[in-house]
Each structure stands twice: as C-alpha cells, then as structure tokens.
Amino acid sequence: MTTINSTPNVADILGKNQTQTNTSSTPTDDAAASLNGQYNDFLLLLTKQLQNQDPLSPLDTAQFTQQLVGFASVEQMIQQNKSLNQLINLQSSTNTYAAAGFLGNTVAVDSDQISLQNGHASFQYQIETGATQAELRITDSRGQIVLVQQANEGVGTYQVDWQGQGFAGQLPDGQYQVSVVYSDANGKMYSAPITAYGKVDSADIKDGKVSLNVGSVSYPIDKIIKIVHQDTQATTPPADDDTPDTSNPSGEQEQQPAA
C-alpha cells in the first residue's frame, strides 16, 4: 500500500501560477480562475491521500481542514477585490457625469495658475497680515517675469481683472502664474493665497480622475472651491461672503495691474 504522509500546502499550490497571476492584465479575474484550478488540484490530492492513507496512522483531518480554510480566505479576498473594482468603475462614471455640470460655468480655483483668454484673466489674492510692502508678480509659462507692481498692503481680499498688459505691452493668451509676496513691520515675509477664476471650456477624464480646462490651464476637480452658474456669472469674479465690498469708490479692495 502506498502511503502519502504529507498534506498539500495551500501556499505551495498557490505558488504554481504566481507569476502568471501577477503579470495578468486582469488580475482579479485571472486570480479567481487560478484559484479554481488550484482548488481542484487540492481536492484531487486530498482524495488520493484519503484513498491511500495508512489505516494505522490515519490522515489528520485538522490539516486538510486548515487548507480548506486557507482557500476560503483567498476566495473571499478575491471577491472583495472584485467589489472594490466595481466601486472604482462606478466612481469613475460618477466623475464623468459630474464633469459635464462644470462646462460653460465660471469656477473659482485654489491655484496660482491663471489663463489669459481673449486678453482677460481674473484672480484674487488675500493679505492676511498687515503689510508694510507688497509686490504682485506675474510670470509666463517659461518662467519669465512679465509684470511686477505694488500690491495692496491692507488686510483683506483683493480681486484683480487683468487685461493682459505686461512690460512689453499686450501679452498673448496662455497660461501665467501669479504670486503676491509681502512683509510685515518686523520684516517677516508672507505669500498671499491666490484664487484663479475662469470659464470651463472642457473636461478630461483619465484613470477615473477629472480635470477641468480653462483655456490653456488644466485644474484638478478637487481644487475647485466655487461654481458660478452661467446665467449669473459676472465679468469680474464674485466676492466671497467675507470679501470687502469692491464697489467702494476709493477702489481700495480692487486692483487693476498696469503695464
């Protein structure tokens, strides 16, 4: 009589197709198929063990029970991965539909990148600490400085309607970067938060992630902090609830960059 003294180990069985599973283009489906084949191998080996076991030293049922539990655990993890993939695909579809709602509307974006379109760009900067001097700087996509001028020094949020004027006159449409740096009475330097405004032209969806295109600038959807409906949007960006009234005749809360 032939005696099989060892119980097949689930780790050894799973290892037979490890390389194939890892390199598959559809890991979850291939893992499930591989597990099914390995489970059949396990049952075949187990049957042979039971048929050829030594009556004086019968097979320890705890061993193959443990192997069955191991297969059940792996199968459960594969099913969880399938469910997770379904949720990811569903989220991707949801993001696609959400992107359509932005088209044609003006958005406020937590970004220092602005898009000059038809000789016009809008943005805001916020002075959070009283400054003794403040400087507004605009650079082009090559990092070249195209405009430097004094910024407002008082605490508050200032909106800017830039008409594309720089050192050399009218600048071409495209992507520009805004920065406002200021210092207090003690000489400590600060960088003002910038909010860019623009009308969404199109949206890109890649790997489940959505980005909105305003002219030549692409913004991740998670950077959008406000949406203004097309029917109600104004030429200049709408002020936040805590933004000082920009209609003040003195013009203290509105700045127009000059060449």
d(CA 144, CA 132): 26
Pick the CATH number of 106-255 from 1.10.287.130, 2.60.40.4070, 1.10.3720.10, 1.10.10.10: 2.60.40.4070
pLDDT in tens, the chain (259 residues): 434 444 444 444 344 444 444 444 456 666 666 656 666 666 676 676 667 766 767 666 666 667 666 666 766 776 777 767 666 555 656 666 667 778 888 999 999 999 999 999 999 999 999 899 999 999 999 999 999 999 999 999 999 999 999 998 999 999 999 999 999 999 999 999 999 999 998 888 777 678 899 998 999 888 989 887 655 444 445 444 443 333 332 333 556 554 4
H helix intervals, the chain: 10-14, 18-22, 27-52, 61-100
Q: What residue spans define the domains of the chain?
A: 10-100, 106-255
Can you tell me which residue has the tokens 């009308």? 199
Adjacent-strand bridge partners of 226: 108
> pTM of the predicted model, to two decimals?
0.58
Strand-pair category, 156-162 with 254-255: parallel
